[in-house]
Amino acid sequence: MTDSIADRIAAQGITLPEPAAPVAAYVPAVEVGGLLHISGQLPFDDGQLMTGRLGEDRDVDYGQKAARACGVMLIAQMKKALGSLDRVERVVKLGVFVNSAGAFTDQPKVANGASELMEQVFGEAGRHARSAVGVPVLPLGAAVEIDAIVAVKAG
C-alpha cells in the first residue's frame, strides 16, 4: 500500500513538505484510541502562507488551492506522526475553516480542494465526513485552516 500511496502522491505532483511546527502551545498530532487527531494546518505555496478573505479579496479557485495546500500539510503530518502512510486506515473527518466575508457562502466548494485530494491519495479510504464553515479571521491571516481525524492501523 505504501507504494500505491507514494505513487498517488507523485501522480499529483506533490512533494511532501516538512510538517509545520506549532505556532502556539499545542502539539501537531495526537494518536489515541486508534485515531490520529491532527491540529489545524495552514496553507503554504512555495513556503509562503496563503492569506486573504474569500468573497472579499480572494475567489473560490484560490480558496480551493489553499484547501488543497492544507491537505498536503495534513498528509505530511500523518506521515510524521505515524512513521508511514501505510498506517492510515481511513480519513474519518476534515474540519475546514474558511476566512470568509459575511456574504460568502461557497465554503463547501472551497473545502473540496482538500476533500478531493484525500480521495486522490487514499482512494476509498480518503472519503470522509466533513464540516466547512466560514469564519471572520484565521491565524496569521490564513485563507483556510483544516484539521483532521484519521483512523490508524496498529503500528
Going by pLDDT thresholds of 50, 70 and 90, the confidence category of residue 4 is: confident
Average pLDDT over residues 93-108: 98
Q: Is a pLDDT exceeding 90 seen at residue 155?
A: no
Domains assigned to the chain:
2-152 (3.30.1330.40)
- Name the pTM for this structure: 0.96
Distance CA 81, CA 7 (A): 20
* Model pLDDT, residue 60: 98
Are the C-beta atoms of 1 and 86 separated by less than 8 Å? yes
For residues 49 and 42, what is the distance between their CA atoms, to the nearest angstrom? Answer: 7
Mean pLDDT in residue range 47-55: 97
